[in-house]
Amino acid sequence: MIKKNKLTLIITSIITLLPCVFGMIMWDKLPNTMATHWGVDGNADGFGSKLFAILGMPLIILAIMWLCILITAKDNQKVEQNNKPFRLILWIMPTISCIASAVTYAFALGKDINVSLILPLLFGVMFTAIGNYTPKMKQNRTMGIKIKWTLENEQNWNATHRFGGRVWFYGGFAMMLTTLLPTKIMIWTMFAIMLPLVFAPAIYSYLYYKKQVKNGTYEVSNKIKPLSKKGKIATIIAISLILCGVAVLMFTGEVEVNYGDDSFTVEATYWSDLTVEYDAVDSIELCENADFGTRVSGFGSARLSLGNFKSDQFGNYTLYAYTGSEDAVVISVDGSKLVIGDTENQTAAEIYTKLSPLCK
């Protein structure tokens, strides 16, 4: 399958990496910290370095694309698959890379864009396109609706994919139409549409299986064999690596305050460092039992609370703290507020004791 689509693979790989070229050209005009993730409400809730935003995201998308391609190509079932669905899948990742990078660059350059509209449009187009080609997929283990009854019985596979194709095709159009609704209603409507798109084909396959059993027409096909021992081991390893990566993000990282002669620096893992000159501090105070409010954007885990927050007590502010911190140092700098909670080596009270005389 790779040989048949060699030219398409080269073109899609190049397009996936094109945003990197644009980012390098625009390097000097882009900020050092850039938004890299948005919530379904359209608000930025994840940030990263300029280097990661420019190179990291397209490279990760390219790696995922090629992982999917290799897994599909190595499917030992040797099914002569229709080439159109495979080509469609090849174009999904380049599309995501270009759209995601375009939004990232536009936001970084201060352009006014409604990010919340992109998600239903993107999902809608994807579901519509995939739904159009789903009925053409032949029984295999890497593409399509891969559940027990479709993999065991070719007739069930074909019927389920015809049904699933229609559901996804029209469901995709319905998703695109949600962009005409107010943002909050649009979000809930989109998810309400997505749920049946996910579960309806599986329910249909099961009901079709029960009908086959009742009519005595259900037979287990040997065309799609179970995963080999190596395949099972590779799957376990892949899942373990993903879980380890999630665990690292959730339970590692540090926050540290370093004191210089003229300024202090707050350093944090997974978030940009911040340097503040002592002379720029307008006020500093220690707040016990602080109300940290909610995170507007940034990074949050079981260990760290970083980013831009909003609360009734502090208003809009930037927080560097460990999750679960109760006390905080509140610093006003040129009209902005910086809040520092407990760090790895110091409590908020100790940080206040150190900073207070330096900022006067």
| 232/223 Cα distance (integer angstroms) | 18
**pLDDT tens for each residue of the chain, 360 residues long:** 566 777 888 888 899 899 999 889 888 888 877 777 666 566 666 666 788 888 888 888 888 888 777 776 665 454 555 566 667 777 888 888 888 888 888 888 877 777 777 878 888 888 888 888 888 888 777 678 888 888 888 889 999 999 999 999 999 999 999 888 887 788 788 888 988 888 999 999 999 999 998 888 888 875 666 566 776 687 788 788 888 887 888 888 889 999 988 999 999 888 888 899 998 899 999 998 888 887 766 777 888 888 888 888 888 899 999 888 889 999 998 888 999 998 878 889 999 999 988 887
The pTM of this model reads 0.58
Sketch the domain layout of the chain as residue ranges.
6-247, 255-358
Neighbour count for residue 188 (Cβ, 10 Å): 12
For strand 255-259 and strand 263-268, is the pairing parallel, antiparallel, or unpaired?
Answer: antiparallel
Closest alpha carbon to 318 in 337, 332, 334: 337
Sign of the dihedral through C-alpha 249, 250, 252, 257: positive
Distance of CA 222 to the CA centre of its chain: 37
Distance of CA 229 to the CA centre of its chain: 31
Distances (CA, A) of 161 to 15, 140, 193, 247: 30, 12, 19, 36
Element (H, E) at 169: helix 154-177
| 296/75 Cα distance (integer angstroms) | 44
